[in-house]
């Protein structure tokens, strides 16, 4: 059983971040470049990969990677403790702009409306979409996820696989869902930027063995 009282400062930070999240579109007129980040772990080491794709062709424009030690275990609802430092450190390596970032984690679909995608979005002040593989909170109602009587996310189901899409920052829920769907290639169930970042982070981890 986790004693959340010892994380009161983190909870306060999440509540503050939640107030800063913008859940409407503040996007360029034309989205040209989409980024994705993923982190793989081995013991206390994080292997983080980031990719930038051309939105129209979904061809890879840039790939970067970073290996870092992590200080925190996985704590449900506090993923940002473990994953934010590797992600933020990796994003600095891009050296070129991107229009939207996809993060492997929840956005506003979170007990405090402040998942990893929200934290990253507010920190980098760019549009971010949260794409998670499991449900942390809320109730599925057809293709929507309802939390406290409000629609906080959407479900995309392909070949029995599910992903949960929610607002990270500077994007509406409708647009977050639309962009994510456009990034899933035929034969796959995961958006291409995250799929490629996931493959790369696993390779980084395996090469370290």
Residue 2 has pLDDT above 70, yes or no: no
Question: What integer is the mean pLDDT of 59-85?
Answer: 92
What are the tokens at 26?
């503040």
Query: Which residues is 155 bridged to in the sheet?
Result: 164
pTM above 0.75, yes or no: yes
Tell me what pLDDT residue 76 has: 82
First-to-last alpha carbon distance for the chain, in angstroms, is: 32
Helical spans, DSSP H, in the chain:
8-20, 79-91, 116-124, 173-182, 192-207
**Three-state SS string across 137-196, please?**
CCEEECCEEEECCEEEEEEEEECCEEEEEEEEECCCHHHHHHHHHHCCCCCCCCCHHHHH
Residue 4 has pLDDT above 90, yes or no: no
Tell me what pLDDT residue 68 has: 95
What are the tokens at 115?
């998942």
**Nearest of 127, 7, 148 to residue 55 by alpha carbon:** 127
Tell me what pLDDT residue 75 has: 85
| CATH number, position 153 | 3.30.2170.10
| Domain residue limits at 47 | 4-207
Tell me what pLDDT residue 87 has: 97
Residue 5 has pLDDT above 70, yes or no: no
Cα separation, 108 vs 93, in Å, equals 27
156-197 confidence digits (pLDDT tens): 999 999 999 999 999 999 999 999 999 999 999 999 999 999
Q: What's the total number of domains in the chain?
A: 1
117-151 confidence digits (pLDDT tens): 999 999 999 999 999 999 999 999 999 999 999 99
């Amino acid at each position: 059983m986790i004693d959340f009282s010892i994380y009161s400062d983190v909870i306060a930070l999440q509540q503050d971040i939640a107030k800063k999240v913008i859940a409407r579109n503040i996007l360029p007129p034309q989205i040209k470049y989409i980024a994705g980040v993923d982190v793989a772990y081995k013991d206390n080491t994080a292997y983080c990969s980031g990719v930038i794709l051309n939105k129209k062709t979904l061809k890879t424009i840039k790939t970067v990677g970073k290996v870092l030690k992590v200080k925190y275990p996985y704590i449900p609802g506090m993923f940002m403790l473990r994953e934010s430092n590797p992600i933020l450190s990796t994003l600095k390596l891009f050296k070129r702009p991107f229009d939207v970032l996809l993060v492997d984690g929840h956005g506003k679909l979170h007990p405090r409306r402040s998942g990893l995608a929200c934290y990253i979005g507010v920190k980098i002040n760019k549009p971010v979409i949260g794409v998670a593989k499991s449900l942390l909170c809320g109730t599925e109602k057809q293709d929507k996820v309802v939390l406290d009587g409000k629609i906080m996310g959407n479900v995309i189901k392909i070949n029995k696989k599910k992903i949960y899409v929610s607002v990270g920052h500077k994007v509406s829920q409708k647009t977050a869902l639309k962009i994510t769907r456009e990034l899933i290639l035929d034969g796959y169930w995961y958006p291409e930027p995250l799929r490629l970042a996931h493959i790369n982070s696993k390779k980084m981890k395996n090469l370290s063995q």
